[in-house]
Amino acid sequence: MKSNNNNILITGGAGYIGSHVCHLLIDQGYKVTCIDNLITGNKELLPKEVILKEFDIAEEEKVSNLIKSNNFDLVMHFAGLIRVDESVKEPEKYREYNYTKAKTFLKTCFENNLKKIIFSSTAAIYGNPTKEIVSEEDPLEPLNPYASSKLELENFIKFSSKEFNSKYIILRYFNVAGADSKMRTGLISKFSSHLIKVASEAAVGKRDKVIINGDDYDTKDGTAVRDYIHVSDLANIHLISARHLIDNGQSDIFNCGYGKGFSVKEVLNNFNEILDNKINYELGPRRPGDSKLVVANADKFKKTFSWIPKHNDLKLILKSAYEWEKKLKNNFH
C-alpha cells in the first residue's frame, strides 16, 4: 500500500459514491475519517482502515471536536438525500438535509480552519437544457427540490469562500453507475430509482420488470437520455481534485460525465445484449421533475488535468453493476 501524510475527512462515506472514494483513497495511502449517520449508508462498504464516526453532520460540537483533534487537509462532502421523486413529495426534508444541515457542517469546518472542500453536486441543476450538451457556464434551472437544494449549497460554498478564504472544487455528477472492479463496494438501496440499478435487479430476478418512465420526450426514441459515468472514474476525479486543492490549487467547478448520452431504451437493449435472461420492460408515465436529456460537456476537467477515463464503456458499466447485484443477492449481508 502507498503511504502519504494527507488526512481526509469525508461525509457520507458509507454511501455508494463515498465508499468508492474511500477505497481509492486508502489504496493510495491516505488517512480517511468518515462521518456517516448510516441512515442510508452501510458500514460494510467501508475499508477497515477508515475511521468511522457515527453521528449527524449538523452536530456542531461533535464535528468541531473531531476537526480540532485531527489535522485534516481537506473535506469531501457526499452526505445527503438523492431521490428526485421523493424530493418532489418532501421538499422541506430535502432542503433541511442537503442545504441547512450541510451549511451548518461546512461553517463548522471553516470556523475550525478546515477550508478545502470537494462538494458532490449534480447535473440536475441544469434542468432541461436548451442545448444537447451542457457546459459549466450554462444556465442553472433546477426542476425539482433535490436539484434546488444542491444549487443552494453550491452558492453558499462559492460565497463563503470570500468570507472564510476557503477553496473548493464543485463536481457536478451526471448519472453515476457501475461498481468497484474488485467488488468491494457498489450501490445498495432499498428504494433506488436509478435505471441501471433497477435493470440490474430485474436481471438477477429481484424485480419482474423495468418500467420506462415516459416515451414521449423530444429525444431520439422518445425516452429520456442520460450521460452515464462509471463510479470508479468518478472516484478518480475526486482523487485528482483532492491533490489539486492540497497542492494549493484554485477553486473551480467541473462537470463529471463522458459527453455521450444513452436513452433508456438504449441502456436496456445494451443490457439485454450481455444477459442470458432478457429484462422485461414496459411503459409507464413520466416522473415529475425528470429532465428529458442531460449530457455533459466534460472537456474542462479533461483539459485541466489531462484526464483520460478508464471505464468509458456502457457495457462495462452494465456488467459491473450486474456482477455487484449478483453478489448482493448471493452473499452480501
Tens digits of per-residue pLDDT, 88-99?
899 999 999 999
- What pLDDT, in 10s, does the model give residues 34-87? 999 999 899 999 999 999 999 999 999 999 999 999 999 999 999 999 888 888
pLDDT at 324: 96
Torsion region of 132: left, alpha or beta (phi above 0 gives left; psi -120 to 50 gives alpha) = alpha
| Nearest of 111, 99, 123 to residue 75 by alpha carbon | 111
| Nearest of 311, 291, 303, 294 to residue 252 by alpha carbon | 303
pLDDT at 3: 56
pLDDT at 6: 93
pLDDT at 331: 73
pLDDT at 112: 97
Which segments of the chain have a pLDDT < 50? none
Instruction: Report helix, strand or coil for 283.
Output: strand
CA angle, 299 then 318 then 194, to 5° = 80
Q: How far apart are CA 254 and CA 149, in angstroms?
A: 18
Catalytic residues: 146
List the domains of the chain with CATH numbers. Answer: 7-177+229-256 (3.40.50.720), 195-226+259-330 (3.90.25.10)
| Nearest of 11, 16, 306 to residue 188 by alpha carbon | 16
pLDDT at 276: 85
pLDDT at 2: 59
Q: How far apart are CA 170 and CA 122, in angstroms?
A: 9
Contact predicate 268/199, CB 8 Å: yes
